[in-house]
Structure 1
């Protein structure tokens, strides 16, 4: 069973996931050495292949960098589960075939070091220490296919001209405003709409 590593704080940013000073490579094995370094220096010593990160809301906010996905995957993390994610991190996860699962109440359901049973088909994660089971937002089939292929580029190579009919990523994380997952950008949307409606000089 995978071990769960709990990072309960909201708004964990990409600099904490992989500090900018280490962005001199795109090799996952190298990035993995520094995963979560500015949040927990001992994380890479504890994590094992297939382990799961449970995190607070807006995980992956801040700078856009695929390295934040690569570092965790390189360290052996199989999935990150949080109430919601920063939009760019969520999309980077999908594109790289990495599981970013939205689940309300996930932080309260686990303690650091608990073991979990993750069932993607059933859409559930169970704390095997307490027996508590939670349902996460279903993963679209195409996202599972991308994960199985190893990422978007690999998927498209194997499926030239593939059409994603009837599939969408309509979740809190894809609708989120920058840096505040789950919060619409009302002011910016209003300004943009006002520009469109304004008479031309």
Structure 2
């Protein structure tokens, strides 16, 4: 990923914060048939290794998990948006400005491992739902579903784990602009995507 130094983020806590806030990853996998892409929620787990792992699950019919040990690229992206030259207060005195696009992105390279043990798959689903149900007044729990139904659902999916070999971040947030222009951009950007950028940048 091309990353000019002023857009590079190496603080792992900021990268993991973005992943936790925006877990829906774009997965690009090198398979025997060529490149393959999937969109799957993934969660960072501290397994005691240097960089940790990502875990999630896919449908059993999805061929992704059958390519064990294949190289894989996971992309996590927060909000993004077009930046108009009109957002720059400096344009009033210097018209030498052009449009750009702001975004925050974490890229992870790793190796894929399938997790087909029922207990492992159940743990992955429990972890995912616990994270997303945490803010609800009455969080849903996997045990609320009938046991036979849940067993059938779990049998239809396979857990996946990506051993992280490299993690990098590119937060293109107009750091190369003056403080005045940065303030102008922040004031103009619409809240729906700006919230994602702000969250990722904390």
TM-score (norm: length of structure 1)? 0.20
User: Could you say which structure has the higher strand fraction?
Assistant: 2
TM-score (norm: length of structure 2)? 0.20
